[in-house]
Amino acid sequence: MKTKNALHYVRQKVEKDPETKKYYEEYSRRYDLAEKIREMREAAGLTQKQLGDKIGTKQSGIARLEDPDYESYSLATLKKIAHFFKKELIIGFEETSSSRNSKVRRNSSEPAVHA
Protein backbone atom coordinates (compact mmCIF):
# COMPACT_ATOMS: atom_id res chain seq x y z
CA MET A 1 0.00 0.00 0.00
CA LYS A 2 1.38 3.41 -0.91
CA THR A 3 1.98 5.87 1.91
CA LYS A 4 -0.63 8.30 0.59
CA ASN A 5 -3.25 5.53 0.53
CA ALA A 6 -2.22 4.33 4.00
CA LEU A 7 -2.58 7.83 5.45
CA HIS A 8 -5.97 8.20 3.78
CA TYR A 9 -7.05 4.87 5.30
CA VAL A 10 -5.90 5.91 8.78
CA ARG A 11 -7.69 9.28 8.53
CA GLN A 12 -10.91 7.54 7.48
CA LYS A 13 -10.63 5.01 10.31
CA VAL A 14 -9.97 7.72 12.89
CA GLU A 15 -12.90 9.84 11.66
CA LYS A 16 -15.38 6.95 11.59
CA ASP A 17 -14.46 4.98 14.72
CA PRO A 18 -14.63 6.75 18.11
CA GLU A 19 -12.43 4.13 19.82
CA THR A 20 -9.75 4.47 17.13
CA LYS A 21 -9.97 8.24 17.40
CA LYS A 22 -9.56 8.09 21.18
CA TYR A 23 -6.53 5.80 20.89
CA TYR A 24 -5.01 7.94 18.13
CA GLU A 25 -5.39 11.17 20.13
CA GLU A 26 -3.90 9.60 23.28
CA TYR A 27 -0.98 8.09 21.38
CA SER A 28 -0.38 11.38 19.56
CA ARG A 29 -0.04 13.22 22.88
CA ARG A 30 2.44 10.66 24.21
CA TYR A 31 4.36 10.72 20.92
CA ASP A 32 4.57 14.52 20.98
CA LEU A 33 5.91 14.54 24.55
CA ALA A 34 8.47 11.80 23.87
CA GLU A 35 9.58 13.54 20.68
CA LYS A 36 9.94 16.91 22.42
CA ILE A 37 12.15 15.42 25.13
CA ARG A 38 14.34 13.72 22.52
CA GLU A 39 14.56 16.89 20.40
CA MET A 40 15.61 19.03 23.37
CA ARG A 41 18.21 16.48 24.44
CA GLU A 42 19.68 16.15 20.96
CA ALA A 43 19.68 19.93 20.41
CA ALA A 44 21.75 20.23 23.60
CA GLY A 45 24.17 17.62 22.22
CA LEU A 46 23.49 15.21 25.08
CA THR A 47 23.23 11.44 25.16
CA GLN A 48 20.46 9.84 27.18
CA LYS A 49 23.05 8.94 29.83
CA GLN A 50 24.34 12.51 30.03
CA LEU A 51 20.85 13.94 30.45
CA GLY A 52 20.07 11.29 33.05
CA ASP A 53 23.21 12.20 34.99
CA LYS A 54 22.28 15.89 34.90
CA ILE A 55 18.76 15.37 36.28
CA GLY A 56 19.56 12.51 38.64
CA THR A 57 18.16 9.51 36.81
CA LYS A 58 19.50 6.61 34.74
CA GLN A 59 19.88 6.40 30.97
CA SER A 60 17.09 3.81 30.94
CA GLY A 61 14.74 6.36 32.55
CA ILE A 62 15.43 8.86 29.76
CA ALA A 63 14.96 6.11 27.16
CA ARG A 64 11.54 5.32 28.65
CA LEU A 65 10.53 9.00 28.54
CA GLU A 66 11.50 9.13 24.86
CA ASP A 67 9.36 6.07 24.11
CA PRO A 68 5.81 6.99 23.02
CA ASP A 69 4.53 3.69 24.43
CA TYR A 70 5.59 4.73 27.94
CA GLU A 71 2.67 5.98 30.06
CA SER A 72 3.99 6.31 33.63
CA TYR A 73 5.45 9.80 33.56
CA SER A 74 6.60 11.19 36.88
CA LEU A 75 5.67 14.82 37.38
CA ALA A 76 8.89 15.28 39.37
CA THR A 77 11.01 13.96 36.48
CA LEU A 78 9.21 16.11 33.92
CA LYS A 79 9.81 19.14 36.17
CA LYS A 80 13.53 18.31 36.37
CA ILE A 81 13.73 18.06 32.58
CA ALA A 82 11.87 21.35 32.15
CA HIS A 83 14.12 23.07 34.69
CA PHE A 84 17.29 21.70 33.07
CA PHE A 85 16.25 22.95 29.62
CA LYS A 86 14.93 26.23 31.06
CA LYS A 87 11.42 25.45 29.85
CA GLU A 88 8.06 25.85 31.52
CA LEU A 89 6.19 22.60 32.12
CA ILE A 90 2.53 23.17 31.31
CA ILE A 91 -0.07 20.63 32.35
CA GLY A 92 -3.77 21.26 31.88
CA PHE A 93 -7.18 19.83 31.33
CA GLU A 94 -9.17 20.12 28.14
CA GLU A 95 -12.65 19.16 27.10
CA THR A 96 -12.90 15.65 25.70
CA SER A 97 -14.86 14.79 22.59
CA SER A 98 -17.61 13.27 24.73
CA SER A 99 -17.87 16.33 26.98
CA ARG A 100 -18.06 18.61 23.94
CA ASN A 101 -20.88 16.41 22.63
CA SER A 102 -22.63 16.60 26.01
CA LYS A 103 -22.54 20.39 25.85
CA VAL A 104 -24.14 20.30 22.42
CA ARG A 105 -26.88 17.99 23.68
CA ARG A 106 -27.53 20.22 26.69
CA ASN A 107 -28.12 23.11 24.33
CA SER A 108 -30.52 21.08 22.26
CA SER A 109 -33.75 19.30 23.18
CA GLU A 110 -31.88 16.04 23.98
CA PRO A 111 -30.97 15.37 27.63
CA ALA A 112 -27.30 15.41 28.58
CA VAL A 113 -25.70 12.07 29.28
CA HIS A 114 -22.88 11.92 31.84
CA ALA A 115 -20.45 9.06 32.25
Query: Domains of the chain, with CATH numbers?
Result: 3-107 (1.10.260.40)
Q: Are 59 and 48 within 8 A, CB to CB?
A: yes
Per-residue tens of pLDDT for the chain, all 115 residues: 566 777 678 778 778 888 888 888 888 999 999 999 999 999 999 999 999 999 999 999 999 999 999 999 999 999 999 999 999 999 988 887 666 554 443 444 444 433 3
